Amino acid sequence: MAVEIRVPALGESIVDAVIATWFKSEGDEVKQGEALVELETDKVNVEVSAEQSGVLQKILKQTGDVVTVGEVLGMVGESDEVATGIHQETALSEKVPDRQSPNGQEQQSTSQVLDGQKSVSPLARRIAEDNKIDLSQVKSNSPHGRVTKDDVISYLEKTSRQQTSGSPVAAQQSWDTNVKTPVTTVEAATREASPGHTVSQIQMQPAPRGREEHVRLSRRRQTIAERLVEAQHTAAMLTTFNEVDMSSVMEVRARRKELFKERHGVSLGFMSFFTKAVVGALKAFPRLNAEIQGNEMILKYYYDIGIAVGAEEGLVVPVLRDADRKSFAEIESEITDLAKRARENKLTLVELQGGTFTITNGGVFGSLLSTPILNAPQVGILGMHKIEQRPIVVNGQIVIRSMMYLALSYDHRIVDGREAVQFLVKVKDFIEDPETLLLEG
């Protein structure tokens, strides 16, 4: 008996996803529990596994399609059902009556087979219709004869090269699968032509090929863009700066790093010091550990610290829960694990949700100074930067010290400038005298 492959529950507030990759093709054998397809959400990627062993009979949704929770992606059945299923599908497609388009021309059902052999993905059909392409002329490169968007785009490129070859006026097209109307260099030149001049009077050159690439934004990248813009539009965001002398922390690390790693199996980094310092400062200035809900300010007396990690698919912020209750070793171990799994795209949704305050370290990429954007609905984020040796004045003497710029962005709607400055000074004091972290942090 065939079993439907459905989009599983994706987590709180996530209702749809994009099909990132099919690991199997129609007709391939599958085993129970084997991953069939990967779905891309705005937070994590989710693999959908086979509920039974058998054969992947049908793929109903293609790579790039947007799907919702519960939607059917395909069918898995026993191997002896494949021939029967194909036969029934073919018979049904032959019985489907032709529909009439508005202009009276016959239009085939999407379930019908083109020219007796080719089926077409919905995205490929849309691109073909938008560009007035006869799909019977498009060659499929799929082993199952299905025409995909890549086949249609390849056909467009081939046709474009043939049309522009040897012509003094190149009407070379560029297109994006998400954009319905192709844009030609002729049209662009027409828009830019000055009054009294026609296109034929303008010397046009072919658009440079191979110097542009149209890449669909991933669901995560789209969400990052939306939320960062939303944060700037909704919060009264302001940033204050300070600098911190890292000499004491570096001296402690130099003395203790080997023993620390031998005992705990993890390196002693800077993040544990800053996490402890932030927790201590949040206890002193609780409005930085709050959020706004309507006309209320929600003060939080737990400390779930988000640690920003730059992954290949985009920035993610896994959360270090109850950071105030953890030791240096526990903080370093958890951060190392979260960062590793973030880069491997193996974080769970729970590990990305919540968070009361965020720390981001642009210094690992060489950033000297920046203004971090709030991670809404949080009202504070601390930006760390690279350590540089600089001359500073200590007790009237010019000395060389290892210095770091710190940046605190905050929501001015509930955090006053005085609080923000004092919070950052508190973090600075903890870092410059790390023994106080044991007493107050």
Identity at 61, one-letter amino acid code: K
The DSSP element (H or E) to which 2 belongs, if any, is: none
The DSSP element (H or E) to which 36 belongs, if any, is: strand 35-40
Identity at 131, one-letter amino acid code: N
d(C-alpha 276, C-alpha 438), whole Å: 9
Active site residues: 412, 416
Q: What is the DSSP string of 105-135?
A: -EE--TTSPBTTTB-B-HHHHHHHHHTT--G
Q: Cβ atoms within 10 A of the Cβ of 26, count?
A: 19
d(C-alpha 265, C-alpha 336), whole Å: 11
d(C-alpha 308, C-alpha 226), whole Å: 17
Tell me the C-alpha to C-alpha distance, in Å, between residue 57 and each of 18, 37, 61, 73, 76.
21, 14, 13, 11, 5
**Per-residue tokens: 160:** 């474009």
Question: How many helices and strands in the chain, by DSSP H and E?
Answer: 10, 23
Question: Helix (H, G, I), strand (E, B), or coil: what is residue 343?
Answer: helix
Residue 67 bridge partners (DSSP) = 17
How much is the CA Rg of the chain, to the nearest whole Å?
29
d(C-alpha 225, C-alpha 60), whole Å: 30
Question: Helix (H, G, I), strand (E, B), or coil: what is residue 395?
Answer: coil
**How many whole angstroms from its chain centre is CA 375?**
15
